[in-house]
């Protein structure tokens, strides 16, 4: 943009790491509102989610990737390609790890892939509230012996501890550049995508162990009515009839609770009253069928 102030810094930053280390929590804290879904189950993030942080001096575009893991199905293959392609597209990589988890084969798997890139890497040790301060030095030393990190920054994304320091370090490492997005824009995803993610998050939270990651949400309709209320019709896709029964619940109780919780977040996002109508549909083995993956928003050719 031509009116970018002199000395303004900008760049693209990828957030990578194993599933469930708090990548989405970190992104949402930095951006200041929920754009990535959070769950204590692994693999909740399926697409690249761009969050945009803008200040008077800088603009940082974050890409939250699916947790890096060995894929078990076509959806897993898709998620891994997204994560690995991202490493080549950015100015800086944040490798997020869980301070409470021991270094293991999953970390080795990721570090081997980091060695293939020339992009600077920050090690972000998250969930420091779960460990004793004295243990932190040992954790840092373990990772330092495995890879030459540009910076090592311990944080608690949930509490916000040391996140401002992380942001300062990120901006320090970026070069002068344009403002890519307007100051008030926090993501490049269309509202429909975020609405679908918020509904999916509530399904994961409420069904716990009964429903694995065989859930997709498709927004069938989204329009503003004459009374200024936004009508949203959405279909929750599952792989088995038994899963459909769980999501609907006794006399529709579970589906109503999903709708109630999702509606609150969606109204906060859109700044308007929402009428949310939900359906549940069985699509057997959709995660292994390319046509269904495309239908539900996982478009491999975009990456």
76 annotated binding-site participant: no
288 annotated binding-site participant: no
295 annotated binding-site participant: no
Cα distance between residue 111 and residue 93, in whole Å: 12
24 annotated binding-site participant: yes
100 annotated binding-site participant: no
127 annotated binding-site participant: yes
Cα distance between residue 219 and residue 278, in whole Å: 9
18 annotated binding-site participant: yes
Per-residue CA distances from 211 to 197, 201, 204, 254, 283 (Å): 16, 12, 7, 13, 14
Phi-psi label, residue 160: left if phi above 0, alpha if psi -120 to 50, beta otherwise: left
List, in sequence order, every residue forming a beta bridge with 222; answer none if it has no partner: 232
128 annotated binding-site participant: yes
135 annotated binding-site participant: no
65 annotated binding-site participant: yes
21 annotated binding-site participant: yes
Per-residue CA distances from 85 to 48, 116, 215, 235, 245 (Å): 10, 12, 24, 30, 38
162 annotated binding-site participant: no
20 annotated binding-site participant: yes
Cα distance between residue 243 and residue 236, in whole Å: 11
182 annotated binding-site participant: no
129 annotated binding-site participant: yes
Cα distance between residue 258 and residue 202, in whole Å: 6
Provide the annotated binding site.
17-24, 64-68, 126-129
Provide the annotated binding site for GTP.
17-24, 64-68, 126-129
């Amino acid at each position: 943009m031509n009116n970018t102030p002199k000395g303004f810094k900008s760049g693209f930053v990828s957030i990578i790491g194993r599933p469930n280390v708090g990548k989405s929590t970190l992104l949402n804290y930095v951006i200041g509102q929920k754009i990535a879904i959070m769950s204590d189950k692994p693999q909740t993030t399926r697409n690249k989610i761009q969050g945009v942080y803008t200040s008077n001096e800088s603009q940082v575009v974050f890409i939250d990737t699916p947790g890096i893991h060995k894929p078990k199905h076509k959806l897993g293959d898709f998620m891994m390609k997204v994560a690995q392609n991202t490493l080549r597209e950015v100015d800086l990589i944040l490798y997020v790890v869980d301070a409470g988890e021991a270094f293991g084969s999953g970390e080795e798997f990721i570090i081997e892939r980091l060695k293939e890139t020339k992009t600077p890497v920050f090690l972000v040790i998250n969930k420091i509230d779960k460990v004793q301060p004295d243990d932190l030095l040992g954790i840092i030393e373990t990772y330092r012996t495995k890879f030459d990190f540009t910076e090592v920054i311990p944080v608690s994304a949930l509490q916000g501890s040391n996140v401002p320091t992380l942001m300062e370090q990120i901006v320090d490492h970026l070069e002068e550049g344009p403002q890519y997005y307007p100051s008030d824009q926090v993501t490049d995803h269309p509202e429909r995508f975020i609405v679908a993610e918020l509904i999916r998050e509530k399904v994961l939270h409420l069904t716990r162990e009964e429903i694995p990651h065989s859930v997709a949400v498709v927004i069938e309709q989204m329009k503003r009515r004459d009374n200024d209320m936004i009508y949203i019709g959405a279909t929750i896709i599952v792989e088995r009839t038994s899963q459909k029964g769980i999501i609907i619940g006794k006399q529709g109780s579970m589906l109503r609770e999903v709708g109630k919780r999702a509606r609150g977040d969606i109204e906060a996002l859109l700044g308007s009253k929402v009428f949310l109508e939900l359906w549940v549909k069985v699509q057997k083995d959709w995660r292994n069928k390319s046509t269904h993956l495309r239908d539900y928003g996982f478009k491999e050719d975009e990456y």
